[in-house]
Structure 1
């Protein structure tokens, strides 16, 4: 039997996927944050995420701007 923590993570994952499936998004006016970052591939395809990572690297080659937020 899964622990409450595992069940909660599964619930969050399913809720985010359902939101995207229904035409919504998982982000809002305050950005992605730590909790939603692992789920970005639900809403944004891999090539687009790679482009975003590349842009971040161009402007922040040393990873000092918002370290550990979305692209680590």
Structure 2
């Protein structure tokens, strides 16, 4: 029974760590993309590629931020 409790605790901790890491990466990518957009006009470029739809422009920002 103790082994089951230990396994459950380890799984929960691992899941929490993964979620925190993903949130941090998304926040950093959004901030970097915002800074790149302010400097280099990335916002207008991604908006024209996506046809001006807002929900398509954010993944472009994240991809650009992760690419750089």
Shared topology, TM-score over 0.5?
Answer: no
Higher relative contact order (CA 8 A, sep 6+): 2
- Structure index of larger Rg: 2
Which has the larger share of helix?
Answer: 2
Q: Give the structure-2-normalised TM-score.
A: 0.36
TM superposition score normalised by structure 1: 0.34
